[in-house]
Structure 1
Amino acid sequence: MNVEQAIRRAAATLRDAGVDTPEHDAKLLLAEACGCSLSDVDKAMLLGKSIAALAEEHSAEGVSPAPSVEGVPERRFDAMLARRAAREPLQYIVGHAPFRYLDLAVGPGVFIPRPETELVVQEGLDWLAARRGRNEARFRVVDLCAGSGAIGLSIVTETADVEVWAVELSERTAAWTRRNAETVLGPTGTGSGIDGLYRLVLGDATDPDTLAELDGTVDLVVTNPPYVPESEIPEQPEVRDHDPQLALYGGSPDGLLIPGRIIDRAAALLRPGGLLVMEHDISQGAALVAYAQAHGFSHARTGRDWTARPRYLVARRDDYCA
């Protein structure tokens, strides 16, 4: 079977299974099975190459195929296709997910980073950039509910003069955070790596005792906390059945309980004039702006995603402390 035939067959299988992007997913799975890129798959389709020839070509270049699946390329592809048709997340199957300039390891037990969270990071980076030169010391940044490490690792790698503290409650998830941090920054004790410019803390992001030693000194808190309303269980099996529930649901029917507690914790962590950027559900913007304004923040507003939906809170800590 050549590559074009395999992609056509695989896409039909995924389409029948209800996958939203069957052709893209089929191509990406084949690329992983053969150790090549999406553009290589497209080129092989045009040239009428077989799967074996595609895999052999890139094996000669020293590119390794997906390590979690054994066997010849066709068998690797079929095994991954079956998992995707069962609605296992594509990112879990290939073992990684892109986020801004990073390629993060993901799998069972960790929330898969979403494109909309990139805007949350950008909001924080823009705020830091506008204030660069005002601080003699490094900016202090806290990533609450760190998950894969996407937010904190993006900030520490994309801007200078920052120290990041990342807080994660789940030990299982924190193993993914640490793995990504060590891949991106280097292992413990290297100065710029874990426990250097990036510190991972296992704890409850809403607990006043977590990072209590930083209270009143943090410049920026950026967070993607659990916020899905418990009354609105996601329809997509990839989300409903695979994303950790601890990272999904906001602790109440409207999903506002945990985000509210995150606002309270951020208010204590931030110095006067510091900034909170927090992702939320599209139904929660007005309520969270009002909550922030009533709990130590000023100039609170809602940021919008690429489709103009209200997606994140931006709130500045009052310039004085009550």
Structure 2
Amino acid sequence: MNEQTRPIESDAPRMGAVLEAAAARLARAGIDTARHDAKLLLAESAGRSLSDVDKAVLMDDAFSQFAPSPEARGAFESMLGRRESREPLQHIVGHAPFRYLDLDVGPGVFVPRPETELVVQEAIDWITAHGLYSPRVVDLCAGSGAIGLAIATEVPGAQVWAVELDTQAAQWTRRNMHKVGERFPDLVANYRLEVADATCPVTLATLDGTADVVISNPPYIPLTNVPQQPEVRDFDPDTALYGGSADGMMIPERIIVRAAALVRKGGLFVMEHDITQGDRTVAFARANGFTEARTHTDLTGRPRYLVATR
């Protein structure tokens, strides 16, 4: 075994040395956030917080003091090896942050991304600006439930209908619905999951013309643009990634058509899309029932999501 792949011994003397060695291993594996990931794995394996790791490093504590049990030290080595092989950090720890929530994630469900938080914020800002209480919100392609659960817990009285076709992903939606419901008891009455095709005209047909907001993060990656990141390409389900055509627009276009039927006159539609699809989503929305449509950028300035009104 060479120097680059030799495991970190569980009895490494000091926390600082353990953290730096772990970060170096992850960096050699091509992980941009190597130190952050190593720190989070240290915390998770020992059942501690990130601030506990910082404190232990600052105090020059021994690794065995931070993680007293052999099980915890072994768990750290196992987690580190998994991350080194480019398994998503969120799969290893079993959860992912999204806005004010901590959601369970794992194989079979798309890991929520920070850029999708902007999509949610757009909808919440619109609801607030229009003074809506108990708005009707439809989340198409729910996945982990991130979008709909965020709105249900942040917007007073929001009534949310979530739609997810993939049965394995829907299991994660339900899991998070119950998890979040432990903190927000009203969620039981205010959040509903429909396991169905979000593009089908009969799905939630009783809501047609009544939704205040329709919001979606559909699969949209062009089939010709396979992601380079192993964490995305090899672990996120294909059904949550690819938009069904060479340009990735087939499913987003069907979502736009379904949203146009669901949303009421004057209502809002927000949809995340690929950075290459801004102009096309705007044009398609304007041609299919939306009087106003524009694309908004993410925090890096790239066109990221469609905002349209009836």
Write out per-residue CA displacement over residues 143-176 of structure 1, whole angstroms, 9 at most, x where no aligned residue. Answer: 0000111100000100113100000011111111
Q: Counterpart of 1:141 in 2: which secondary structure? A: strand
Distance 1:209 1:36 in 2: 48
Distance 2:67 2:215 in 1: 41
Matched, 1:81 2:77: no
Which residue, out of 143, 147, 163, partners 1:167? 163
Matched, 1:301 2:301: no
Which residue is 1:213 aligned to? 206
Which residue, out of 24, 28, 31, partners 2:40? 28
Which residue is 2:30 aligned to? 18
Which residue, out of 173, 176, 183, partners 1:180? 176
Which residue is 1:264 aligned to? 257
Q: What pairs up with 1:1-322 in 2 under 5 angstroms?
A: 1=12, 2-56=14-68, 72-132=71-131, 138-186=134-182, 192-194=186-188, 196-317=189-310
What is the CA distance between 1:186 and its match in structure 2? 4.1
Distance 1:131 1:98 in 2: 28
Verify the 8 A CA contact 2:41 2:80 in the aligned structure 1.
yes
Q: Counterpart of 1:297 in 2: which secondary structure? A: coil
TM-score (norm 2): 0.93
What is the CA distance between 1:10 and its match in structure 2? 1.0
Which residue is 2:6 aligned to? none
Structure 1 residue ranges without an equivalent (≥5): 60-70, 318-322
Distance 1:93 1:191 in 2: 29
Q: Counterpart of 1:111 in 2: which secondary structure? A: coil
Q: Counterpart of 2:209 in 1: which secondary structure? A: coil
Which residue is 2:5 aligned to? none
Q: Counterpart of 1:72 in 2: which secondary structure? A: helix
Structure 2 residue ranges without an equivalent (≥5): 1-11
Distance 2:71 2:137 in 1: 46
Distance 2:297 2:240 in 1: 21
- Root-mean-square deviation over aligned CA pairs: 1.5
Verify the 8 A CA contact 1:34 1:51 in the aligned structure 2.
no
Verify the 8 A CA contact 1:52 1:73 in the aligned structure 2.
no
Distance 2:216 2:242 in 1: 15
What is the CA distance between 1:132 and its match in structure 2? 1.6
Distance 1:271 1:185 in 2: 28
Distance 1:240 1:145 in 2: 19
Q: Counterpart of 1:288 in 2: which secondary structure? A: helix
What is the CA distance between 1:105 and its match in structure 2? 0.6
**Which amino acid letter does the alignment assign opposite residue 307 of structure 2?**
V
Verify the 8 A CA contact 2:67 2:73 in the aligned structure 1.
no
**Which amino acid letter does the alignment assign opposite residue 99 of structure 1?**
F
**Which amino acid letter does the alignment assign opposite residue 186 of structure 2?**
S
State the identity as a percent: 60
Distance 1:210 1:159 in 2: 24
What is the CA distance between 1:54 and its match in structure 2? 1.4
Which residue is 2:7 aligned to? none
Q: Counterpart of 1:291 in 2: which secondary structure? A: helix
Distance 1:52 1:163 in 2: 49
